[in-house]
Amino acid sequence: MTAPARIRLPTFAALIFGRGAYRLAALVSTVALLPLWGADRYGTYAGAVAIFSWIIALLVAGPEKTVLKLLPRAPRTGPLIIHAAGALLWVLPVPALAAFATAAALAPHGPVAVYLGVAAMSTTTGVLLLLVGLHRAVGRPWYDARAFLLLTVAQVGLLGLAALGLGPLGYVAGMVAVQTALCVVLLTRLGRPSLAIRARPAFVRRIWCTVVLMGSPDVCLYLSTGVLVALLSASSFHDQVGPFVAVDIVWSAGVNFLIYALRVYTPWVSVRLIGARGAAARHAARRIAAWVIAGDLAYVAAGVTLLAATDVFDATGNPVIVWGVLFAAQTPMLVALILAGYLVENSDAPSTRITALATAMGLLAATAAGLVAVPLAGGVGVLIAFATAGIVQAATLRIKLTRPAPVKEDVHVAA
């Protein structure tokens, strides 16, 4: 395997356009399907989507980040990783697809078929995301843009069919069929699947350990959001949940685009953050963490002062404006923290333990702060808890990065 070339601007623009079109089509479909299907049928579909969304995160968080980092650093074992991933991904969707096909054949009018269909849809979505990540890692980014443009066309077409009477089961079946076809095409482009990597059990264990460690920041972020929104729902400020979550969805879309942009460049960055450059990246991350601590401390102080001075919701008369301003004010610190973690986890191998520990400490801090702040301040308390988590996470990064990194060769490079 050769070192990956830097993604050129036209290619990057095509990738962003493909993902952006897909997300926009998904958002439009989510809004439009409710009046087309009615509350009952849409409720079954939406409930299934909410229940099985974790499958996508499970397949994408750790595995995609791991292959994007490891493949460029493993010139000898890189093909083994690719062929093993291909072997696993050929098999992974089969149980979900078989269960969906069985339910659709035996009970096409019941909710079970829709639920199993959404489970299959989430599984094939996760597999597809992992496959396009694999192709980006080996220098074939065009598969990503093309796959998601085709998915966009499929979503728009299925939405049109839903307007003509297509129900949830048919819609889900159409998405599953398109995604499965794309997965098959991408899998065939990876070459012959093989589990020859089993002959190197120690290396396999290191890969699985890296998957867990690199996936934990995403998992902790999802858990922090879930815990704090649950606390808000259970508080006396539960009426704030609707506008708060609406703004959070829009804000998260922007954050997710940033994360995707960073992952596009991960293969190129990974092979350059080795040795002295890796040490420089960790030093830069430590400086960024100090800025995050200062920014989030100021954010917490401003939030407390604002609450004590006036009722911001009565002053504006529009809660969406309040949440928009508060989310926007926290964006620079979150972006900086994401960048610091990105620099650390893509440097030497042991650094993944640092980012995993930092995000775990952030989750604990968010929970503890939320238990105090949310009952007292509602949604503002949620954001104060997020800022507190950022302080703890950044402080953990600074403390752990104070120690010099081990001088031994990176196990990923040695592989």
Query: Same domain, yes or no, for 13 and 159?
Result: yes
255: in domain? yes
For residues 337 and 258, what is the distance between their CA atoms, to the nearest angstrom?
Answer: 12
Query: Same domain, yes or no, for 184 and 242?
Result: no
pLDDT digits (tens, 9 = 90+) for 160-189: 999 999 999 999 999 999 999 999 999 999
334: in domain? yes
32: in domain? yes
Query: Same domain, yes or no, for 158 and 244?
Result: no
pLDDT digits (tens, 9 = 90+) for 86-108: 889 999 999 999 999 999 999 88
Asked whether 120 and 97 are in contact (CB, 8 A), the reply is: yes
Identity at 387, one-letter amino acid code? A
What integer is the mean pLDDT of 20-49?
A: 83
Q: Which residue has the higher pLDDT, 212 or 394?
A: 394
3: in domain? no
- The structure tokens listed for 295 are 């920014």
pLDDT at 411 over 50: no
222: in domain? yes
Task: Please give the tally of structural domains in the chain.
Answer: 2
Query: Same domain, yes or no, for 262 and 168?
Result: no
For residues 260 and 257, what is the distance between their CA atoms, to the nearest angstrom?
Answer: 5
pLDDT score for 317: 57
pLDDT digits (tens, 9 = 90+) for 279-323: 888 889 999 999 999 999 999 998 888 776 656 665 555 677 878
Identity at 278, one-letter amino acid code? G
Which of 143, 175, 199 delimits the end of a domain? Answer: 199
Query: Same domain, yes or no, for 34 and 174?
Result: yes
Which of 170, 199, 228 delimits the end of a domain? Answer: 199
Task: Indicate the Cα dihedral angle 399, 405, 406, 411, nearest 10°.
Answer: 110
Query: Same domain, yes or no, for 228 and 144?
Result: no
Query: Same domain, yes or no, for 152 and 288?
Result: no
157: in domain? yes
Which of 199, 228, 258 delimits the end of a domain? Answer: 199
Could you give the count of Cα atoms lying within 13 Å of 347 in the half-sphere of its Cβ? 27
Q: Is the pTM of this model over 0.85?
A: no
pLDDT at 2 over 70: no
124: in domain? yes
For residues 43 and 122, what is the distance between their CA atoms, to the nearest angstrom?
Answer: 17
4: in domain? no
Query: Same domain, yes or no, for 288 and 395?
Result: yes
Our measurement of the distance from residue 43's CA atom to the centroid of its chain's CA atoms, rounded to an integer in Å, reads 25
- Could you list the residue range(s) of the whole structural domain that residue 408 is in? 215-414
Q: Which residues contact 302 (CB under 8 A, 6 or more apart)?
A: 329
Query: Same domain, yes or no, for 58 and 166?
Result: yes
Q: Which residue has the higher pLDDT, 30 or 337?
A: 337
Query: Same domain, yes or no, for 241 and 355?
Result: yes
**What average pLDDT does the chain have?**
84
For residues 390 and 382, what is the distance between their CA atoms, to the nearest angstrom?
Answer: 12
Query: Same domain, yes or no, for 390 and 291?
Result: yes
Query: Same domain, yes or no, for 56 and 151?
Result: yes
